[in-house]
Structure 1
Amino acid sequence: MIRQREPIVALATPYGESAIGVLRLSGKGVLEKIKPFLKLKGAVKPRYAHLVTLVDEEGREIDEGILVFYPSPKSYTGEDMIELSLHGNPLILHRALELFLSAGIRLAEPGEFTRRAFLNGKMDLLQAEAVADLIGARTELAVRCALRQLRGELSDRIERIRSQLLELIAYVEADIEFSEQDIPTLSREEILKRLEDLIKDLEDLLATARVGNFLRKGLNLAIVGKPNVGKSSLFNALLGSQRAIVTDIPGTTRDFLQEQWNIGGIPINLVDTAGIRTTTDPVEQMGVQRSIEKLGSAHIVLLVVDGSKPLEEEDLSIYSMVKDKDHIVVLNKKDLGVCEDTAKAFPEFVMVSAKTGDGLEDLRKEILRRAGFYTAEGGSIYVSARHANLLQNSLSVIKLVYQQLREQDISPEILMLYLREAVHYLEEVIGTVTTEDVLDSIFSSFCIGK
């Protein structure tokens, strides 16, 4: 059932000078509230573009624009809704907002338009989250994935799992209610097989969570190593531009450099750090300390070593810092030859020449592999941290039931309770059941006009 709430207004375009600025309004009686400030010929027709003149309380002209009215329920929010396009002068837009607020229309909260669309059943919670993902997407891949989620593809996959659980619950309930009648039920082996299928489906979705997090927030990739191993040269080579200063003087990089990059559609926060070594120079010491701090926030570390020379104590010291993290050893200076003892010191490595570009494609592929991109690429639907937490809860319950059922009989009543708990977590993902706190958390990250 569509509910018309109090009218709200917000600027739907970025604040600042632009050709057009769009004001979005939604809620009960919103058209009647702003009519005193509009001059137009004839009645307002739904979904028609009307040339209007915006006037103040005394009838003085403020601007001309285009108004489109979307009556409930066929609108983005499901409520009566208006989009008013004016010239993108901040003074005009601010004055329009003042007029509408004076008419008793409230300024919208972050994400409130999409929140109302969710509450009115125009989209589920996964689709609502996809709106924010689409706006904030930093690569074409992230845009495509957000669009697929907005179209409901992730919702459909989770809904299929939920439906299979509900069907299983129906059989269990029938076994409880009609145990003495000739009602078809499932054998223990059939239940186990269905649980196995559910476990696989959930594990497949959860396998996309790592890439999903990187798509939404970016992958922090830190380049570390001792001075003069070619960190800055590698940084420049990966970016394809001379961003970092490169010299033969040790300690040239005194602080970290950070640039936005992407490979395979995954946004990368690429960081070039100062060379890590023991030094008495107080400025360089600060750079070394910042390099060590960057290791803590890196999802993947590129440890750069001069592959043409024997290892030194500083190389081994830095390796001890990163070996327990997700890291890739990069043996640089391939063009100068390979020191066999250095190559034998590491179980895995990638050989490159930052100078010639040789091996850089192999390094890119290895970064993607470590990020989990290739294992998750097939579905092109990636769950978020919120989704993953709830899916994991559901999976844990199903695995517990599966293990107990394999080892011993479980009463239908207990089995049904477990299955209902698993369903509940899935319904939290979609938003069939949710709390105000969860909605506040999700929609607070939206921009105000969306």
Structure 2
Amino acid sequence: MMNQDTIAAISTAVGEGGIAVIRVSGPDAVRESAKLFRSKSNITDAISHTVHYGHIVDPVTGDIVEEIILTLMRGPRSFTAEDVVEISTHGGVVAVKRVLELLLRAGGIRIAEPGEFTKRAFLNGRIDLTQAEAVIDLIRSKSDRAFSIAMKQSEGALSKKVKSLRHTLIETLAHIEVNIDYPEHDVADLTSAFIKEHCLEASSEINRLLKSAREGKILREGIVTAIVGRPNVGKSSLLNALVQENKAIVTDIPGTTRDVIEEYVTVGGIPLRLLDTAGIRETSDVVERIGVERSRSALEGADLILFMLNVNEPLHEDDRLLMEQLRNRQVVILLNKTDLPVNLEVAELESIFDAQSIVRLSVLEEKGLDVLEGVISRMFFNGELESVDLTYVSNVRHITLLGHALQSLTDAVEAVDIGIPIDIVQIDVRTAWELLGELIGDSVSESLLDQIFSQFCLGK
């Protein structure tokens, strides 16, 4: 499904930098770029995968607009499987904008839609849908591990498994079709056993993929983690220590943090979306009270709560109210300021929370942070992350389709067990096969494609 128009967009982040890149893709990419490009080499006749130095010239005035490096890739040996030209200009808003405007002014090129380059790669058969979706995961990766998993998926790790599953099911469907067409040669017991064996084999593999879904989603999106506690227990200091940067203002004045501060950090290989909240207490200050309400909202939406206490002070009534709210939640109790004398009764905490979730630390002396890493890892990954070679499923669309396919296979096995005719069983097997096809994009609606690629940034 080759596209008939040519598109262009800035593929690097807008702002100051060493270089900026404009990507042009489509049947007229080379011809339209050649109209503006002046060099000793003629790119119209140049072979694929060559780099050319020259200048962009305004065809109307003849003025040199920019000094560039032009990279030429002819289809199908390119990302989009079309002719692609990448123009590297000096970094900066003005330079790249002037070159893009000249490309669009000629009339043979239009501005690309968000994700349209990757969408063309999919439509032209360069990649399948799971690989296309992995591109956005690569861009949004919050940790080395999340990046490695997205890279594996972009290389087709999940696709290969899904295609193998579909192969198993198409063999099953072919076997059923033969026995429907030639019933005189059918041995009912053998056919039923064949269907059940293959359905159970496929179900087992889908189950294994779905078991990785929780961990995969965490690695992809991060754990929403709220740091809560009364004012001046060290919440902002903890955020700064984990981020290793002074993101939050730290003072001895209660109520310094007035709003929720958000930062991403990797703790023990696990990405955390940290929310430093205003100290939760009763206050008459109007602005601080708004901050406290926002803290309570962040607390409700968090996957993990780091509840900080000052060991130098006995438990306050505000602490006890928070403790009651945190029952049956994923909580790590942080006993901070262990460099000071201990005046807090730990037994009361241990009567409500698991002793293994209580961590003693001194943020000031950076002691105990490694213990915190171990506790979080144990909570979400049983103490050890799976091998990076594992194919993780993290995309909600993938999880949903795999779940439906598994249910269809379960229905097929149950139908075989109770002796339902195989032509009826065939319906469930075919449904599973089609759902797996939708996962990799063999059959997918245009509206779904638009929804998926609209999440991409412009120029990708």
- The whole-number CA distance in structure 2 between the counterparts of 1:443 and 1:177 is 43
Partner of 1:125: 129
Aligned residues: CA RMSD: 2.9
- Does residue 345 (structure 1) correspond to residue 352 (structure 2)? The answer is yes
- The whole-number CA distance in structure 2 between the counterparts of 1:258 and 1:86 is 34
- The whole-number CA distance in structure 2 between the counterparts of 1:54 and 1:243 is 42
Partner of 1:52: 54
Residue identity in the other structure for 2:361: S
- The whole-number CA distance in structure 2 between the counterparts of 1:12 and 1:24 is 6
- The whole-number CA distance in structure 1 between the counterparts of 2:284 and 2:67 is 67
Task: Give the C-alpha shift of residue 316 in structure 1.
Answer: 3.7
- The whole-number CA distance in structure 2 between the counterparts of 1:150 and 1:342 is 46
Task: Give the C-alpha shift of residue 90 in structure 1.
Answer: 3.3
Task: Give the C-alpha shift of residue 252 in structure 1.
Answer: 5.2
Residue identity in the other structure for 2:352: A
CA contact (8 A) 2:258 2:291 kept: yes
Aligned CA distance change for structure 1 residues 308 and 254 (closer, same or farther; 3 Å): same
- Does residue 26 (structure 1) correspond to residue 25 (structure 2)? The answer is yes
Task: Give the C-alpha shift of residue 26 in structure 1.
Answer: 1.2
Question: How big is each residue's C-alpha offset from its partner over 1:382-417, in whole Å with a ceiling of 9 and x where there is no partner?
Answer: 4312211211121222223334444x1222112111
Aligned CA distance change for structure 1 residues 38 and 341 (closer, same or farther; 3 Å): closer
- The whole-number CA distance in structure 1 between the counterparts of 2:446 and 2:68 is 37
Task: Give the C-alpha shift of residue 107 in structure 1.
Answer: 0.9
Aligned CA distance change for structure 1 residues 371 and 307 (closer, same or farther; 3 Å): same
- Does residue 150 (structure 1) correspond to residue 160 (structure 2)? The answer is no
- The whole-number CA distance in structure 2 between the counterparts of 1:422 and 1:206 is 15
- The whole-number CA distance in structure 2 between the counterparts of 1:69 and 1:291 is 52
Residue identity in the other structure for 1:351: V
SS at match of 2:18: strand
Task: Give the C-alpha shift of residue 331 in structure 1.
Answer: 4.8
Q: Which of 435, 440, 446 is equivalent to 1:436?
A: 446
Aligned CA distance change for structure 1 residues 254 and 63 (closer, same or farther; 3 Å): closer
Task: Give the C-alpha shift of residue 313 in structure 1.
Answer: 4.5
Worse-superposed segment, 188-197 or 152-161? 188-197
- Following superposition of structure 1 onto structure 2, how do residues 17-416 of structure 1 map, counting pairs within 5 Å? 17-44=16-43, 45-46=46-47, 47-58=49-60, 59-103=62-106, 104-181=108-185, 186-227=190-231, 229-240=233-244, 244=248, 251=255, 253-305=257-309, 313-332=317-336, 336=342, 339-348=346-355, 349-355=357-363, 359-372=368-381, 377-378=386-387, 379=390, 381-406=392-417, 408-416=418-426
Task: Give the C-alpha shift of residue 434 in structure 1.
Answer: 0.7
SS at match of 1:394: helix
SS at match of 1:122: coil
- The whole-number CA distance in structure 2 between the counterparts of 1:237 and 1:257 is 14
Task: Give the C-alpha shift of residue 162 in structure 1.
Answer: 1.9
Partner of 2:433: 423
Question: How big is each residue's C-alpha offset from its partner over 1:64-115, in whole Å with a ceiling of 9 and x where there is no partner?
Answer: 3222322222121111221222333533332322222222211111111111
- The whole-number CA distance in structure 1 between the counterparts of 2:2 and 2:245 is 54
Aligned CA distance change for structure 1 residues 185 and 252 (closer, same or farther; 3 Å): same
Residue identity in the other structure for 1:301: I
Question: How big is each residue's C-alpha offset from its partner over 1:237-270, in whole Å with a ceiling of 9 and x where there is no partner?
Answer: 5445665566676555444333321123332221
Percent identity, aligned pairs only? 38
Task: Give the C-alpha shift of residue 440 in structure 1.
Answer: 0.8
Task: Give the C-alpha shift of residue 168 in structure 1.
Answer: 2.0
Gaps of 5+ in 2: none
CA contact (8 A) 1:174 1:185 kept: no
Residue identity in the other structure for 1:364: E
Task: Give the C-alpha shift of residue 360 in structure 1.
Answer: 3.3
- The whole-number CA distance in structure 1 between the counterparts of 2:410 and 2:348 is 47
Aligned CA distance change for structure 1 residues 224 and 213 (closer, same or farther; 3 Å): same
Aligned CA distance change for structure 1 residues 93 and 341 (closer, same or farther; 3 Å): closer
Residue identity in the other structure for 1:9: A
Aligned CA distance change for structure 1 residues 35 and 403 (closer, same or farther; 3 Å): same
Aligned CA distance change for structure 1 residues 243 and 421 (closer, same or farther; 3 Å): same
- The whole-number CA distance in structure 1 between the counterparts of 2:224 and 2:326 is 14
Aligned CA distance change for structure 1 residues 339 and 447 (closer, same or farther; 3 Å): closer
Residue identity in the other structure for 1:32: R
Question: How big is each residue's C-alpha offset from its partner over 1:125-179, in whole Å with a ceiling of 9 and x where there is no partner?
Answer: 1111122222222322222112111111111122222222222222222222222
CA contact (8 A) 2:213 2:392 kept: no
- The whole-number CA distance in structure 2 between the counterparts of 1:309 and 1:272 is 21
SS at match of 1:180: helix
CA contact (8 A) 1:308 1:339 kept: no
Aligned CA distance change for structure 1 residues 447 and 249 (closer, same or farther; 3 Å): closer
Partner of 2:457: 447
- The whole-number CA distance in structure 1 between the counterparts of 2:384 and 2:416 is 31
- The whole-number CA distance in structure 1 between the counterparts of 2:42 and 2:247 is 59
**TM-score calculated relative to the size of structure 2:** 0.86
**TM-score calculated relative to the size of structure 1:** 0.88
Aligned CA distance change for structure 1 residues 183 and 305 (closer, same or farther; 3 Å): same
